[in-house]
Amino acid sequence: MKFTFTSSSKEQTRKLGALIAPLFVPADVVLLEGDLGAGKTTLVGGVAEALKVNEDVISPTFNIMKCYFKGTLPLYHIDAYRLEGQNIELGLEEFIEGNGVTFIEWPQYIEPLWPDEYLVISLTHKGGDSREITIESNCPRLDKIVETVKEAF
Ligand SMILES: Nc1ncnc2c1ncn2[C@@H]1O[C@H](COP(=O)(O)OP(=O)(O)O)[C@@H](O)[C@H]1O
Ligand SMILES: [Mg+2]
């Protein structure tokens, strides 16, 4: 299932994160697609706030992964940008298949680690603060999250 809409501000993108945050269960995975500055990390910030993580989400580019354990569900935020062309043996799958929800920026660089079921959220610059956002699921359970977004946006 797939739904496309426009976010006209960073607040609206954070709101999308806050809307879907309570719908995740352990081992859920969200692949985040989009260029630099598209709003991927901003979206994760909205998720973190809704999970009551109590910490600002910063880009994990230089750490590859940041973990947030203080919220209602563990949140794992991976930025695979620097893993392009690397032989990935980092143990990331322990987190991806683990007890929390995982958001992955630049997921194409760690495709072997994708689970069978996932959500894809793609963000595209449309000029100014406008972003076209597409959310797509590949299994019935995650379809419900897309439906929720469809009803709200
Ligand atoms: N509609 C929008 N959604 C998300 N971010 C936006 C939007 N409009 C402007 N911005 C700005 O764009 C930047 C997005 O940065 P960031 O979330 O770090 O992107 P990415 O992680 O995709 O590189 C932020 O400075 C944010 O304030
Ligand atoms: Mg980012």
Average pLDDT rounded to a whole number, residues 53-82: 90
Q: What is the pLDDT of residue 62?
A: 73
The pLDDT confidence band at residue 86, using thresholds 50, 70 and 90, is confident
Q: How many CB atoms neighbour CB 95 within 10 A?
A: 20
Q: Residue with the nearest Cα to atom 1 of ligand 1?
A: 9
Q: Which domain holds residue 73?
A: 2-152
- In this prediction, residue 84 has a pLDDT band, given cuts at 50, 70 and 90, of confident
Domains of the chain: total: 1
Cβ of residue 34 lying under 6 Å from some atom of ligand 1: yes
Indicate whether 58 pLDDT > 70: yes
Residue 37 near ligand 1, beta carbon < 6 Å: yes
H helix intervals, the chain: 10-20, 40-50, 92-96, 140-152
pLDDT exceeds 90 at position 72 = yes
- At residue 85, the pLDDT reads 80
Residue 69 has a CB neighbour count (10 Å cut-off) of: 12
Most ligand 1 atoms within 8 A of CB, residue of 5, 7, 42, 58 to mutate: 42
The answer to pTM > 0.85 is: yes
Nearest CA residue ID for atom 13, ligand 1: 37
Integer Cα distance of 126 and 117 in angstroms:
29
CATH, residue 73: 3.40.50.300
